[in-house]
Chains A and B, each alone.
Chain A
Amino acid sequence: MKNYFLILIIVISFLSCQRENSEFLGGSLNDQFGELVVLEPFKSNTANFNFSIVSPRFFEAQWSKNLNWSLSVRATQTGATKTFTGYSNKLDIDNASWDGSADDFPSFMKDDVCQATLTLSDSDTIIELTTTVNVSEIKNPQEGLKVVADFEDGLPVNSLPFVQSGAELTVTENSAAVGSNYLHLGGYVPYDYLLTSIKIPVQDMDIFSATSPLLLYFNMATIGGILGEVPANQFIKIIIREDDGSNLSNGEKYSMEINPVNWDTWQLFTLPYSDFVLESAPVNNLREPGKINQIEIMCLSCPAESAPDGPTCPENTDLIVKTDIDFIAFTQNESYKP
């Protein structure tokens, strides 16, 4: 009888244990070795994407295995692109919802016709699927956005351009980062670092009075030229002025350089105001977003022949500087979403 009691204890001891149930251990063999087959066709949930209203806008598809996929949406007119990536066996509202933003400048525009391409690839198969969607309305302005200049109506009112002989500062149409126009800065000035600059007044910054400089972002679209055709060391200097001086013109100045500007597609330059460095004599040495009253953009490059101060760069001889800009704006809490 005592033996049976012991046996009972043993039986109870292993019956009392339970394991968590999982489907299987490790990565799926189907994902590693299974055949890649499209199960549901690639499509958008609606043909026209209206980003100005709250409604679901996403792409759908399903295939036979989990894999790394890539979805690229490209506007045929503006060249704006939006890319999605992931690891799954389907596209749905959770992983392929689109809010109308682009990866970078240029932004999508109203009535853009976009081709969406889904690329599925495993170790031995690559499948590309395409569909088309139209942008019926662009996304609403980002919350906390303050546009300083978009050059759609020419130079901003009361802006102060400075152009050296041989330099160019012109509002140009076509292929803008946002909208239709952008500001071309460049030219050939072999005798000075500074080619051209523009001082743009900034108004109504009181809305950022309570914003920390850590959370106020300066944003600007920039584009250089094809390397070899432009100086490799061309650059932009940004000076932000505050009105905390004794008069309007002697407030604190904070600056930042984009050096070099060596890319040939529109790119977003974005930085918290707190990263700008003091360049003038200090007044209170505090970055105060609410007191910003001017932004100066300077186009610079190492001169090929002579310089008032500093070295020269003979390798820049006959190379035309190009540091175009567009869409200067401040945003709160996060960078601008093109």
Chain B
Amino acid sequence: MRLIAICFFVFTAITTMAQERLKKIEFYGAAKTNILHQGFDVDGDTMNVSKANYGHSLIDLGILVRPSANTEIATEFRLRNELGGFWGGAVTYGIRKLTLKGVVNDAIRYKIGDIDLEMTPYTLYNNNYQDVVNEATVFQMAREVIDYENYFSGNAWRQQGVQSSYGFYLNNETFKSIDVNLFSTRNRTADPSSASPERLFSGGQIGLNTSYGLITFHSANLFDLKNTVNDMNLYYNSVNTVSANISLADLPKFSLNYEGGTSKANYENLIEEETVTIQDYFWNLGLIYSPSNKLRLSVNGINTGPQFSSPAAQNVRLGYSSSSNVFPTIGNNLAVRNMGLIDYLYNDVFYYKTFDSQLDLYNPAFSNALPYGLATPNRKGFSVSLDELAIKEQLNLSSEIHLMSEIIGTGTTQLKSFMKFVAKANYDYKKWSANAGLAYESTSRDGQAYEMIELSSMLFDFGVDFDLTDQLSILFGTKYHMADGNELLAVYDSYNNPLYFDPISYNDQKQMLNSIGFMVNFSERSKLTASLSSFSQKAEQEYTFNQLQLLYRLNF
């Protein structure tokens, strides 16, 4: 009996200890299988293959370790196997994430390792996709894969470094509290062969919460670390801004928002002992009218200087100059195939995972008014936004229009004028849900024949979902893009000044992607999507794609 009592006691103790250990270590993860079968069709093409079948399976195993109540270590291991990679022949593995975070004295929060950083559209901001306006669910499934693989989380940049935040109250009726958020990350590793020094990205925000609203100082600094290589050139860029959201006491339905600041870039040539300094400023002042929760209107005046330089905010997600390994050439002369909507969504084109000091190449057929987001240099004008209009909780509308022009002409004293219009609608009715979006842009410039620019482009997204059961949905989506006209695309020098201009023209270029499929929700964490897609491009290169995709995702 005593032996039974001892055994019971030991068993209970072990069970309790095991439960304690379970809290200290947790496992999570995600598994995905993506299988694509594509057919490629070009009239008269006998030199290129017409079918491609590829895909992969992967598992990301996350381990969450809590060595103490205030410390957490998160790591994710990846194991990936290409379709057809039998017996481990095409297996790759690595660490996808490693982050240590915690709280010191219940006051100062910190993160070390992989961190997601975002501030304002002028300082630190990963601009949105340019081939999306309000995408159908069937495309969102594929888009989430791109997001996940490229660490796109909202408009944040995934960086590696250290971040700390803390706040304190001021015991004052007007100035209530201060929040401080600081970070320092490694933007680029040193490369002695090209004399590229180590580059860091550091900055932060200091927010003053007042009775009038929030006033925040933002700082983003990209700079080279001296003596990490045999230095020949050193780069330093600093962006400092102040933003404010101010409620108007006399006009309770109105509020003001503002962000303004300066940038300063130093290019130091240690060989020539010369330093080039480029500085400029921007401001964005808006008036918001919000009579209820269902309506919000805003008007903004915008002025972003031609030399304003903010590397962490002036970027394009998609590497437009990249190409896919799927059907890389076209025609019997084996010309490089121009990428289209289907490549951007499904194939292995390049997305920028980080930012650098150079302005990225952009595609004016997709975005010419604000290719680098709100921080696009050399723009002035105003925008009107209907941020949200809800009707009977079934229909949600939003819209915005930007009327802009250049501040200083590029290559001429004539100025370009831009118009960008965006409208989005989401509708839910019983088992039906639909979403639609339209983005239209036009660019024009008068002058001599060689100065004249007339370019218009349109992107249309539409999708319908029908829930057959709680677990099974039928999905339909379409994307349509057109561009017509001409543009002179600036080629920038190392100081981001236009050096010369490449003439490009679109002769009524059209591309369309249609997709139909079904989605099975096995559970909240397990989802299978099967879709059939067809894509056609009518441009300088004309071709069609047909595609079958099977995408299974499991979170655990």
Contact = CB atoms under 8 A, between A and B. Distances in A.
B490 interface: yes
A85 interface: no
Given A24-B409, A27-B499, A27-B501, A17 B262 contact: yes
Nearest to B412: A29
Contact of A29 (B258, B281, B488): B488
Contacts of A17: 262, 281, 283
Contacts of A34: 448, 450
Contacts of B450: 29-30, 32-34
Nearest to A19: B305
B281 A25 contact: no
Contact of B499 (A2, A23, A26, A33): A26
Contacts of A2: 212
Contacts, number: 83
Interface in B294-314: 303, 305-307
Interface stretch (A7-15, A172-180, A278-286): A7-15
A6 B413 contact: no
Nearest to B251: A3
A140 interface: no
Interface in A22-47: 22-30, 32-34
Interface string B274-289: 0000001101010000
Nearest to B500: A27
Interface band, chain B: 35 or more
B124 interface: no
Interface stretch (B187-195, B242-250, B362-370): B242-250
Contacts of A24: 408-413
Contact of B283 (A6, A14, A32, A33): A14
Given A7-B256, A13-B260, A30 B212 contact: no
Contacts of B307: 19
B408 A13 contact: no
Contacts of A3: 212, 246, 248-250
B498 A25 contact: yes
A3 B262 CA distance: 24
B378 interface: yes
A30 B497 CA distance: 17
Given A2-B212, A25-B378, A27-B411, A10 B451 contact: no
A32 B498 CA distance: 13
Contacts of B285: 10, 14
Contacts of A14: 260, 281, 283, 285, 303
Nearest to A23: B413
Contacts of B248: 3
Interface of B: 212, 242, 244, 246, 248-250, 256, 258, 260, 262, 280-281, 283, 285, 303, 305-307, 378, 407-413, 448, 450-451, 488, 490, 497-501, 503
25 contacts: A3-B246, A3-B248, A6-B212, A6-B246, A7-B246, A10-B244, A10-B285, A13-B260, A14-B285, A14-B303, A17-B283, A19-B281, A23-B413, A24-B409, A24-B410, A24-B412, A25-B306, A25-B410, A25-B411, A26-B497, A26-B499, A26-B500, A27-B498, A29-B501, A33-B450
